[in-house]
Structure 1
Amino acid sequence: MVVTLNRPDVMNAMNTKMLEERLALFREQAYNSELRCIVITGAGDKAFSAGGDLKERNNMGNKSWGNQHQIIEELVLLTRDFPVPIIAAVEGYALAGGCELALSSDFIIASETAVFGLSEALRGILPGGGGLQNLARAIGVRRAKEVIYTGRKLDASLAYEWGLVNEVVPKGQARDKAIEIAFKIAASAPMAVRAAKVSINNGSETDYHSAYALDIAAYNLLVKSEDRLEGVAAFNEKRKPKWKNQ
């Protein structure tokens, strides 16, 4: 599935309507057993997303701001914990909330035109969409502090060097590359991919022994699955497996 942030006239800035639509879609698709991967991208080539719609937020009262942010907070956790992998395909600017959305994905494919930044401190607030935690986990605490404190922007090459993105591709090719990887993910056993995501996400937040226990619990469940039998049989019969997702 490809999800496109479709407000190219405002660099795909996210207003309340867009946030509500994405939340509704993710809530619905979280229960789609046929879904294998999501690619998120932005319309046009200027921006993945410039973040929140500051024109909509201009003079927004505390109550309205808080109501909107409740949607964002649910989206942050739903994106991180979504059952299947989410790949961000970034062309152009991914700033503020747009950068946070990319950081919340499983990984990022960026075009050579990509620019990442969390500039909230320059606007009197902090990244509220998971950016503080996700950036530090991606590039390290010390580098993240510099980026957050100063609003420094990272071009694609530096983002790759610092471990923010998985791969940099020529302009206009981020979406296609992300879809190519999504098809490779879809060729893997769906139960195994989902279990791996849970174990990696949760294991990275705890000590090694506890994390390994999560791995083994998932491993033992998969050993008993029909897909494990199918995977071994397909290998020995020199054919592609036909996953049953059970």
Structure 2
Amino acid sequence: MSDKILLDKKYDEKVAVITINRPEKRNAFDADILNGYIDALDEVRDDDGIQVVLTQANGPSFAAGMDLHYLRDFRASFKPVYDWGRMKAPARLSLALINYPKISVAAVHGYCLGGGFSLMMAHDVVIVADDAQIGMPEVLRGSFGQGVTAQVIKEGIPRKKAVLLQLLGRNLSGLEAERLGLATFSVPAGEVKDEALKIATELGTRNPSVLAHAKIAINLDQHLPLEHAMWSDDMVAARMRVSIDPLGDVEGYLKSQKGGTNKDYQRN
């Protein structure tokens, strides 16, 4: 794994922290970061001691987007007619995280642009600094934000706001991103990493099978009509009940609500 991606497994919290570590380039994504991040996900995937992945970044920015020198060299090697079925690296990274079996949390500060914005939106929970600058500057250099555009639209933000981001190339603050639903919530800049770790640690107390199936249900339901989504929920719940019996101890569950999460519903 590249030294541009750092991995710290916090087993007490059941959280793996992936840190983007290229601060001298504002954490612009190159091959080392893209491949190193996916390698980190792969290393954690089958680790039963980890339930949550937390992404953060060193330096003044979360990620300034794609390294344009890397992108230029990649494009030069790309055969658009014959390679149409080969997903570009930033899209592969975002989809890998969206479809990842563990829950993901992002701690976003400073500039979060282009490819960084795409990675941010791929997380299940996003904690942003109030003063973070989040946007799509691609239009300013003659592009339209390939991949990022799809994620912005799929998040369901108003079209007029999508135009603000994409065509005008203006940034949103962390506060604005929260209001539009692009972030879970915003906090003062100095509290972002601590708050994200707090949320990740709380998620780590949940049953891993419940977390995984809840994520499956959300990912499926958002693309389906309501009736189909309800049928989908039934199927996901049936799959979950192979490992979990949520009604096996009703009295114990009701009592547990006064003392925190009840974990005593695992099937033997």
Partner of 2:154: 137
Partner of 1:183: 201
Q: Which amino acid aligns with 1:62?
A: A
Partner of 1:222: 240
- Does residue 153 of structure 1 match 2:167? no
- TM-score computed with the length of structure 1 as normaliser: 0.87
- Does residue 112 of structure 1 match 2:126? no
- Does residue 197 of structure 1 match 2:222? no
Give the CA deviation at 1:83.
0.7
The DSSP-based 3-state class of the residue aligned with 1:87 is strand
Q: CA RMSD in A?
A: 2.7
Give the CA deviation at 1:62.
2.0
Q: Is the 8 A contact 1:120 1:126 kept in 2?
A: yes
Aligned length: 244
Instruction: For 1:212 and 1:98, locate their aligned partners in 2 and report how far apart those are by CA, in whole Å.
Output: 33
Partner of 1:102: 120
In structure 2, the CA distance between the partners of 1:216 and 1:60, relative to structure 1 (3 Å rule), is closer
In structure 2, the CA distance between the partners of 1:142 and 1:32, relative to structure 1 (3 Å rule), is farther
Give the CA deviation at 1:95.
0.6
- Does residue 172 of structure 1 match 2:186? no
Unpaired runs of 5+ in structure 1? none
The DSSP-based 3-state class of the residue aligned with 2:27 is coil
Q: Is the 8 A contact 2:111 2:134 kept in 1?
A: yes
Cα deviation per residue 1:18-74 (whole Å; 9 max; x = unaligned)? Answer: 111112222333333432111111112x20000111244456652169899733232
The DSSP-based 3-state class of the residue aligned with 2:181 is coil
Q: Is the 8 A contact 1:57 1:65 kept in 2?
A: no
Give the CA deviation at 1:228.
2.9
In structure 2, the CA distance between the partners of 1:164 and 1:65, relative to structure 1 (3 Å rule), is farther
Q: Is the 8 A contact 1:51 1:97 kept in 2?
A: yes
- Does residue 47 of structure 1 match 2:61? yes
Instruction: For 1:13 and 1:245, locate their aligned partners in 2 and report how far apart those are by CA, in whole Å.
Output: 45
Q: Is the 8 A contact 1:111 1:174 kept in 2?
A: yes
Give the CA deviation at 1:187.
1.6
Give the CA deviation at 1:156.
1.5
Q: Is the 8 A contact 2:144 2:167 kept in 1?
A: no
More off after superposition, 81-90 vs 32-41: 32-41
Instruction: For 1:61 and 1:241, locate their aligned partners in 2 and report how far apart those are by CA, in whole Å.
Output: 50
Instruction: For 2:79 and 2:117, locate their aligned partners in 1 and report how far apart those are by CA, in whole Å.
Output: 20
What pairs up with 1:52-131 in 2 under 5 angstroms? 52-57=66-71, 61-63=75-77, 70-128=88-146, 130-131=147-148
Instruction: For 1:24 and 1:184, locate their aligned partners in 2 and report how far apart those are by CA, in whole Å.
Output: 25
Instruction: For 1:78 and 1:165, locate their aligned partners in 2 and report how far apart those are by CA, in whole Å.
Output: 19
More off after superposition, 153-162 vs 5-14: 153-162
Identity %: 25
Instruction: For 1:226 and 1:159, locate their aligned partners in 2 and report how far apart those are by CA, in whole Å.
Output: 36
Give the CA deviation at 1:80.
0.9
In structure 2, the CA distance between the partners of 1:112 and 1:237, relative to structure 1 (3 Å rule), is closer
Instruction: For 2:49 and 2:228, locate their aligned partners in 1 and report how far apart those are by CA, in whole Å.
Output: 31
Q: Is the 8 A contact 2:209 2:244 kept in 1?
A: no
Unpaired runs of 5+ in structure 2? 1-15
- TM-score computed with the length of structure 2 as normaliser: 0.81
Runs of 4+ with deviation above 6 angstroms: 65-69
The DSSP-based 3-state class of the residue aligned with 2:161 is helix
Give the CA deviation at 1:76.
1.9
